[in-house]
Structure 1
Amino acid sequence: MSAATPTPRDAGLPPPPVPTSSSLSIDSARTPPNVNKPTILHLGGDIRWNHELYAELGRRFNVERSYSMGRQDFKRALKENKWGNFVGIYRPFWNTGGEMGNWDEELISLLPPSCRIYASAGAGFDWVDTRTLARRGIIYCNSASACTESVVDIAIVLILSTYRAIPWSFLAARSCNPAEFRNANQNIAAVTHNPNGTILGIVGLGKIGHRLAQKASLAFEMEIWYHDIARMEEREKSLPGGAKWCEKLEDLFQNADCVVLCTPFDGSVLLSTTQFSQFKTGARLVNIARGKLVDEIALIAALDEGKISAAGLDVHSNEPNVNKDLAQRMNVMVTSHTAGASVESHIGFERLGIENLLGWSERGRDGVVTAVNLRWLVGSE
């Protein structure tokens, strides 16, 4: 993810139509706001799937629309109180509604004091300062559970690619060069392995990490080790072969045959030269979390040294720019931050955002479904 703009999780979906009064489920421009209802600010394009639920949102709230606005226009609109004293923000997509860039203290400071909840699409939230929102009494809700299956399926693809040298085989076949084809066909078996019985080390046993552990242990009989800030015994028991908690990351790195990052980005690099030196020689790395968790220069060195034998990267440190040194390697699978990009994910993104807003309208903080910053919240109802 770039420093300025959140990465879209709905890449590949058609752009939303230009809104017209006939195309909107709720059009605040032609329907005078009801002074007896609080206001929600809907960022970006029209909803696509959950129309009945969106209509319920319109019965509970006045819905104002910003559509797509750059940062300066958006800041100006907030300063001018264009949308009034709205109580919440709804952002259903990743390819619209984020043109104002990162939600940092500068932007958050311009929100009206009435704002109490921000419900947004996607799993990651490194583009929004959730602690600053919390200090202003604003709950931030993501939609991670909606894309869990999609993200985990791509994680499985990337894991298999690191064990079975899929990039090498794919690129050789795609070259349509008989010599390259024969080279892969005759030599790839000497460097590939089955994942069965090996140790999968998961950093972050949240919804995505736990579901990955379930699929990997069931389908590939992998042994699950994990690191998280606290032991999760109930989740351990839910896995067919259980799981081993590593209190220290170093213990995980020294033993795992494949390490998968499933943890949020907290503003600091997780894997650099020191950490790669702790890895088991020949281990594999998969990153489905955030690109900035990994020092890519250090990863290249670890690959060159053979400390890391293969990598699978859905995310990159300088998106949309992909490191060419990594992308051109036959032992590195790269994808375009699309692990969560499926129709099913985005139906869920839309729905969860609305459900968070409706739940909050009924029961305050106790009604939200997927809040991520409650532990820092100040002054919430």
Structure 2
Amino acid sequence: MSKPIVLHPGNDIKWIHELYKNLRENFTIKRSYSMNRADFMQALKTKQFGDFVAMMVGQGVIYCNAAVTCTGSVADADANRNIAAVIHNPNGFFLGIIGLGKIGYRIAQKAQTSIEMKILYNDIRRMPAEIEQSINAKFYEKLDDMLADAGCVLVATPFPGGRVMDAPHFAMMKRGSRLVNSARGKLIDEEALVTALESGHLVSAGLGVHYNEPTVNQKLAKMENRLRMENILSFFSTGKTLTAVNLHWLRGMPKP
């Protein structure tokens, strides 16, 4: 029986070879490399890549990332994997959130309700009193002040055009604190982050995005952080994805 096909666009895998090997063992990998848009569209029309089951959104294919619609998924991933995983017994610790938007707020709800973390936040505007009260959050007008108090800092703000966290800001954080970025890769000075991690000033970082995506900082890749292809592997081994967004649309859809 032939293996399902996965389309792998773009460049070769550079760092996550072990996980990619696992993918190859379970799927037939077809490559598009760096086709221009017109050639890629023509290849799809002529089924040059075959009937692939992942990497392309279409009928019967589960899409696992989106903007507003993945708020819950992103919040779950950060609250359950990144924050709780990198803090020993986070109960009572201070979680500092940069950008209390939809994702930041959902993470704050989960962290405050499930593990009783104390919520701090910095934003360009203060949230209404009812929002603050719902998560017992403390507003910091100045980011520098919040960084000095937080044990874990979550970056959840939209990309403003410049770096939010750089060497001076890392120095303001408590020694032994943690950083999580679920927003945009370019918000973080990665070289400064590497220095902070190597020195022990920061003990860990959970990164869902990177500065030069799809290229990953090699120094960060060699640390304990792992990139994941697990949505594909999980779906075909258990029938469930880790961050499904449109699965509810597919339920009841006739099989092609």
Query: What TM-score does the superposition give when structure 1 sets the normalisation length?
Result: 0.45
**What's the CA shift for 1:69?**
7.6
User: How far apart, CA to CA, are the structure 1 residues paired with 2:107 and 2:183?
Assistant: 13
User: How far apart, CA to CA, are the structure 2 residues paired with 1:225 and 1:284?
Assistant: 14
**What's the CA shift for 1:324?**
2.2
Matches within 5 A, 1:98-137: 122-123=66-67
**What's the CA shift for 1:227?**
0.6
Of 159, 162, 174, which aligns to 1:280? 174
Contact kept in structure 2, 1:312 and 1:333, CA below 8 Å: no
* Change over 3 Å in CA distance of 1:315–1:237 after alignment to 2: same
Summarize deviations over 1:161-207 as a string: whole Å, max 9, x none. 322xxxxxxxxxxxxxxxxxxxxxxxxxxxxx211110001111111
User: How far apart, CA to CA, are the structure 2 residues paired with 1:219 and 1:333?
Assistant: 25
Contact kept in structure 2, 1:257 and 1:280, CA below 8 Å: yes
Contact kept in structure 1, 2:66 and 2:245, CA below 8 Å: no
Gaps of 5+ in 2: 8-34, 42-54, 59-64, 232-240, 250-256
Where 1:214 maps in the other structure, the secondary structure is helix
Matches within 5 A, 1:93-172: 95=56, 122-123=66-67, 144=68, 146-156=69-79, 157-163=81-87
Contact kept in structure 2, 1:300 and 1:326, CA below 8 Å: yes
Please state if 1:290 is matched with 2:191: no
Aligned match of 2:244: 343
Aligned match of 1:236: 132
* Change over 3 Å in CA distance of 1:197–1:272 after alignment to 2: same
Aligned match of 2:91: 196
Summarize deviations over 1:199-248 as a string: whole Å, max 9, x none. 00111111111111100001111000001111112211112xx1000101
**What's the CA shift for 1:343?**
2.8
User: How far apart, CA to CA, are the structure 2 residues paired with 1:337 and 1:262?
Assistant: 23
Matches within 5 A, 1:80-91: none
Aligned match of 2:221: 327
Contact kept in structure 2, 1:313 and 1:335, CA below 8 Å: no
User: How far apart, CA to CA, are the structure 2 residues paired with 1:71 and 1:254?
Assistant: 51
User: How far apart, CA to CA, are the structure 1 residues paired with 2:230 and 2:70?
Assistant: 13
Summarize deviations over 1:79-117 as a string: whole Å, max 9, x none. xxxxxxxxxxxxxxx9569xxxxxxxxxxxxxxxxxxxx
Where 2:178 maps in the other structure, the secondary structure is strand
* Change over 3 Å in CA distance of 1:347–1:252 after alignment to 2: farther
Which structure has the bigger radius of gyration?
A: 1
* Change over 3 Å in CA distance of 1:236–1:265 after alignment to 2: same
* Change over 3 Å in CA distance of 1:333–1:196 after alignment to 2: farther
Gaps of 5+ in 1: 1-12, 16-67, 75-93, 98-120, 124-143, 164-192, 349-381
C-alpha root-mean-square deviation of aligned residues, in Å?
3.0
* Change over 3 Å in CA distance of 1:149–1:304 after alignment to 2: same
Query: What TM-score does the superposition give when structure 2 sets the normalisation length?
Result: 0.65
Contact kept in structure 1, 2:100 and 2:156, CA below 8 Å: yes
Please state if 1:304 is matched with 2:228: no
User: How far apart, CA to CA, are the structure 2 residues paired with 1:228 and 1:69?
Assistant: 40
Count of aligned positions = 188
* Change over 3 Å in CA distance of 1:345–1:281 after alignment to 2: farther
* Change over 3 Å in CA distance of 1:305–1:71 after alignment to 2: farther
Percent identical across equivalent pairs? 44
Summarize deviations over 1:132-162 as a string: whole Å, max 9, x none. xxxxxxxxxxxx1x11110011102111232
Matches within 5 A, 1:182-261: 193-232=88-127, 233-239=129-135, 242-261=136-155
User: How far apart, CA to CA, are the structure 2 residues paired with 1:343 and 1:73?
Assistant: 25
User: How far apart, CA to CA, are the structure 2 residues paired with 1:293 and 1:236?
Assistant: 25
Amino acid at match of 1:342: T
